[in-house]
Every structure is written in C-alpha cells, then in structure tokens.
Amino acid sequence: MNSVSRKKKEKIRSLLSKELNEKNFYNISIDNCIFEINRDWEEIFIPLLEESECDYYGNYEGTDENLRNSLNGFENDVFALYPFNEDKPDENVNFVYKPIRFALRWNSYPLMDAFMNMELNLEEYKEIIDDCMKSLKEK
C-alpha cells in the first residue's frame, strides 16, 4: 500500500511546481554562458519573439499582464524572455528554457555576440524553440 495518497502527491507536485515558477530563473549566472551560439540561428529565434508579443529587444508588448515578468519581458511555464539592459549588460541572461534551465545571453539584440550555458547542436536548439512555440499555442 502506498504511504502517500494520490491527492497528497498531487498537492506536493502543485507546491513544487509553484515553487519552481516563483524562482528567479533569470538568475542563472551569466558566467555559465560560455558556449558561443551561431548568429545564423537568430532566424529560428525571432518568430518566438514575435509569437510572444515581444519587440526585437525582448520587451513584452502584449496585454496579458500575467505573462509580463519583473523585467518587462515575457514568461510562461516553459520559458522566459528578458530584455537586454544597456545600463546593466552583465546582470542577467535574456532567455531561459525552464525544463532544463537552458539559458542564452546576448549583447543588445537577440543572438548578437550570444552565448549559451549548454553546448547544443542545431537540432537540439530547434527542439527547444519548437517546445516554446507549442507552449504559446496552449495559452
């Protein structure tokens, strides 16, 4: 017999999920973003900005305030976008894919002088962007 009831397991999962969502995912250290990313991959990333209702800098321009994060970017359960901050360029990452804590940081514009915290190939990168796009259709 299970010592933890199904209802209790669901409550624990819910609390853990809430705790994860409340964490500052952008606090992934930029020092960990050491793998250079190909600038050509930008064309794969830009549609994500557009579908997230963000401008080219990553500022959220949508009307659903539940999707606006503390840095005026976009955030849902799957990923977060944080605009580049010229005043504090070394303060935070600009994109986080939450399921694996994959992060990107760039200079001024998406994927300009960009680095990632995990070494991914093009196919893995595309899978991440695809999953983010799917999460937008589920809202």
Joined together, the tokens standing for residue 124 give 């893995």
pLDDT reading at 35 higher than 90: yes
Please provide residue 51's backbone torsions phi and psi, each rounded to the nearest 5 degrees. -70, -25
pTM above 0.75, yes or no: yes
Local structure of 120: helix, strand or coil: coil
Joined together, the tokens standing for residue 81 give 């976008």
For the chain, the domains span 6-137
- Answer whether 122's CB lies under 8 Å from 54's CB: no
pLDDT band at 20 (very low <50, low <70, confident <90, very high): very low
Burial 87-119 (b: 16+ CB within 10 A, else e): eeeeebbbbbbbeeebbbbbeeebbeebbbbbe
pLDDT attached to residue 22:
45
Q: CA torsion, points 75, 73, 41, 23, in degrees to nearest 10?
A: -50
pLDDT, one tens digit per residue, over 40-97 is 999 999 999 999 999 988 899 999 999 999 889 999 999 999 998 888 767 789 999 9
CA distance 74 to 88: 19
